[in-house]
Amino acid sequence: MRPALTTVQVFALLAVVLSTLVFAASFAVDTTSARPEPVAFDNTVQRGVTAADEQIARNRSISVPRAQVFYSQYRYVVGYVGLSQAVTALTEPGHEQQFGYPLVVYVSDYSDRPVRCGDDGSLRTATPPDWVEANQAHYVVDGPARVPSGPAVVPFADRDDAAAFAETCGGRIIDWETLKTRSFDLKQAAAVRKQVGPRRSNADATVQAARERRNRPVSVEVGTDAPTVQAAVDAAPPNTTVVVPAGTYDEQVTIDKPLTLSGPGATLDGGGSGTVVTVTADRVGVTGFEITGIGNTTVGDPTQSNDSAWDATVTTAYGNSDAAVTGRNASGLYVANITVETPASGVVLRRTPGAVVENVTVNGTADWQDGFMGVIGMHGPIVVQDSVFNGGRDGVYLHRADGTAVRNNTFRDNRFGVHLMYTSRSLVADNVARGQEYAGVVVMTNPVANAIVGNDVRHSGSGVMLAGSRSYIAHNVVVDTDQAMSTNADRSLYEHNVLYGNDIGVRASTVVPSNIVTENDFIANDRHAVSGPGPLRVYTHDGRGNYWSGAYDLTGGTGPVLAQSYSPTDSVDRRLHQTDAAVVLRAAPSVRGLRALRGTTPGFRRGSIVDRAPLTDPANPGAVRHLRNETSMEEAA
């Protein structure tokens, strides 16, 4: 139960409200000032490009058309990398209500710039383009010109320049009003929701194909047909199985042909230096071993790389960690039913599309700073499932591994459970994380279209931390963390998550909010939500909001909020589940006036979140009931 109402509490809360009113009254935006001039693009709040695409464009000297928008009720200039991103944002429902109307939109001007369209469609110029008002530009569309993320829309101030470009590169010319009517396929978050099922099916098919490595005929048995494991591998014909009987084998092995190395009950001891099993061929299987004696090198020397790719430093450093099993340039690798004791990594996969890691246990270091990754996946989609990762730095680390599936794994006492870098269109599903130092699932470097669903994170620094755009975050349970979830991503869908008993339920930290947050349950958190600077965040979609434990109606009753908005960042509302003083103060006329003004005036904000249709009952009753029963049992014990 809440603490009893006291006079001190009422006056303290009233002081907070009055200070908010003073701040709000002094906040105004002058929309009568002269039309603003373009700013340096680096000074805008940028949206619309993944970090990988940005690196590719810079590495290949590709020019990407851009836009910058000045809004009547928004203090920041918003920069869009790619005009399709700008058009999509400007035509989004509710966009003007959040930001005010666009004072002016500028786009890149390729007039008077020798711009060429290369054989791959990439745009290149000797000097950066200037700026022109969007409604005065002419746009070349439907041609072969491309940016790293897809087809390019190329703007020109002079129509003759646009016509000359269209003649040499291809395409046709349209104006700004016509451009705004076009629909750009940006793989919105709702589309990613529909992809969860197909992604599961694709992972199933990948696993089924990899499991065929278990069915190869036996050709060589160590100890009977060959004296050592390496000798047996060398003697075995392709597409057969080498059997390693129970026992300990002090050696390191290289597999350079398609075969299966099977050793239920056998131990491979690498002697404490380097990687134990190295795979350089396609369609290899490694199953049934305990692997020990791995070297303690966690990071390779990037100065030894001859790779000129933009990410060569990361690839060389992380991809050269000592490991139990390392696969390089080898598709269809199958690693299963092995147990690993490692001071470095468990399995390292570089350019191994279609690789599967399942039923693997990796025991890393007690202090994550001493160890490295359970599984590293780089430059290709893999599947990691039904495995356990104890200790070490990251349970699963992905780098440019688009399309990967990480599912049904358990992570204990790592730095991060699952860590995505430059990785898009992946599935992170149904994993359990306990005691992560920083986060159960973390997505960095602005990727797109990831699905983070059905994960259970508890007793960790943070729960699910997501960057990027157009992702789907749903049906996750986060309990007893410092911060359950962040909405660093944009144009993403957060639904049916249960955030229970955390210090902070959700942190809304994007400067340009554009997410859908609906039908989530916020229960027993110290703070249900906090918000950084920016326009109003509206956590309601299609008339459905979220469930906030402790929300009470203004009539003084003890039932949940029915037809009234609720703001978890409001100085009064955020205390409703903590003290009865907030319930009384919420009915005060001054507070009612402030609440009525909030959300109707775009400039009248200070990092607010409003739910216009809060739910009267949990959106996920089964999960909530289970958590409440668990909590009651723990308190009783």
Nearest to 138, CA basis, from 172, 104, 101, 185: 172
Task: Choose from 215-219, 300-304, 514-518, 601-605 the range with maximum mean pLDDT.
Answer: 215-219
Higher-confidence position of 241 and 47: 241
279 pLDDT exceeds 60? yes
Which pLDDT tens digit goes with each residue over 97-111?
Answer: 777 889 999 999 999
Average pLDDT in the 161-166 region? 95
Closest to 550 in 3D by CA, of 586, 516, 598: 586
- The tens digit of pLDDT for each residue in 429-453 reads 999 999 999 999 999 998 989 999 9
Distance of CA 263 to the CA centre of its chain: 37
pLDDT reading at 16 higher than 60: no
On average, the pLDDT of the chain sits at: 86
Task: Identify the CA nearest to 540 among candidates 455, 615, 476, 449.
Answer: 615
Which range is least confidently modeled, 176-190, 335-349, 487-501, 614-628?
Answer: 176-190
d(CA 340, CA 86): 49
| Alpha carbon distance 65, 80 (integer Å) | 9
What pLDDT sits at residue 25? Answer: 35
Please give the pLDDT value at position 637.
60
Q: pLDDT at residue 382 above 50? A: yes
Higher pLDDT, 508 or 498: 498
Q: What is the pLDDT of residue 104?
A: 95
**C-alpha to C-alpha distances, 207 to 61, 242, 265, nearest whole angstrom:** 39, 21, 23
Q: How confident is the model at residue 584 (pLDDT cuts 50, 70, 90)?
A: very low
Mean pLDDT of 108-118: 90
Residue 208: what residue type?
Q
Nearest in space to 605 (alpha carbons), one of 26, 24, 175, 170: 24
pLDDT at 597 over 60: no
Give the model's pLDDT for residue 553: 42
Could you tell me which of 115, 85, 89 has the C-alpha nearest to residue 102? 89
Whole-number pLDDT of residue 532: 78
Q: So where are the chain's domains?
A: 41-186
Extract the tokens encoding 589.
């006329």
Distance CA 108, CA 86 (A): 12
Q: Which of 22-26, 42-46, 166-170, 534-538 has the highest mean pLDDT?
A: 166-170
The confidence score (pLDDT) of residue 374 equals 98
**Per-residue pLDDT for 579 more than 60?**
no
Contact 194, 215 (CB under 8 A): no
pLDDT band at residue 572, thresholds of 50, 70 and 90?
Answer: low
pLDDT, residue 585, reads: 45
Per-residue pLDDT reduced to its tens digit, 509-559: 776 778 889 999 999 999 999 987 767 788 998 899 999 998 754 334 444
pLDDT digits over 386-407, tens only? Answer: 999 999 999 999 999 999 999 9
DSSP 226-259: BSSHHHHHHHSPTT-EEE--SEEE---EEE-SS-
pLDDT (tens digit, 9 = 90+) per residue, 320-345?
999 999 999 999 999 999 999 999 99
CA distances from 410 to 25, 236, 434 (A): 51, 36, 8
Sign of CA dihedral 428, 147, 349, 213: positive
